[in-house]
Amino acid sequence: MSESDLRSVAEELCAAVIEHARLCTETPDDAPRIMPVVSNIHRLIRSYGDTLIEKSGWSNPLLNVEEPTTGPEDEQAGDRADSPPGERTWVSIVDSHAMYVDDPKALIGYAEARTGSKIGNAAEALLLLCKTDGWKPDSYTDGAIEVDWRSTDACTG
């Protein structure tokens, strides 16, 4: 793989983002035209990450994008400015994961041993592990899971 392969995927991704911006500006209510572009952007983000890790060993910087971290004083000042003390705020966090389960039997066996529950399939095993001790795929049985991508979003209301 060459640098030009990585650059080619990056250029294709940028073109897709520009097309998305154009469609969202010109025809924001035309979901049948916009959604295929969104799917293509998601595919290209994964392709960019795969190509990047293969070429350089670096992980995909386009996944898990978070707000820049500030110092403790700045964070506290921001919290005070956003809502008065004692005001209740509704927050929704959506954390999506896509993965390959390379060894379902090993994963199910690990989850059964870890949780003491009888488990019927790999999806059930992953859900139970997540519920039991949070999402820690790197600590699950070696080689049973390969995380493909992750997306995290939050909103307040």
How many folded domains does the chain comprise? 2
Q: Are residues 148 and 94 in the same domain?
A: yes
d(CA 59, CA 53): 6
CA end-to-end distance (rounded Å), the chain: 46
Predicted pLDDT at 64: 66
Among 56, 75, 98, the domain boundary falls at 56
What's the residue count for the chain? 157
Are 137 and 95 in contact by the 8 Å Cβ rule? The answer is no
d(CA 125, CA 142): 15
Tell me whether residue 52 is in a domain. Answer: yes
pLDDT digits (tens, 9 = 90+) for 37-81: 988 998 999 899 888 888 888 878 887 666 665 555 544 444 444
pLDDT digits (tens, 9 = 90+) for 128-155: 888 887 777 777 777 778 877 777 777 7
DSSP run (H or E) holding 99: strand 91-101
Of 138, 139, 136, 109, nearest in space to 125 by CA = 109
**pTM score > 0.75 for this model?**
no
Q: Are residues 94 and 149 in the same domain?
A: yes
Residues 6+ apart with CB under 8 A from 121: 104, 108
Tell me whether residue 34 is in a domain. Answer: yes
DSSP tag of 135: -
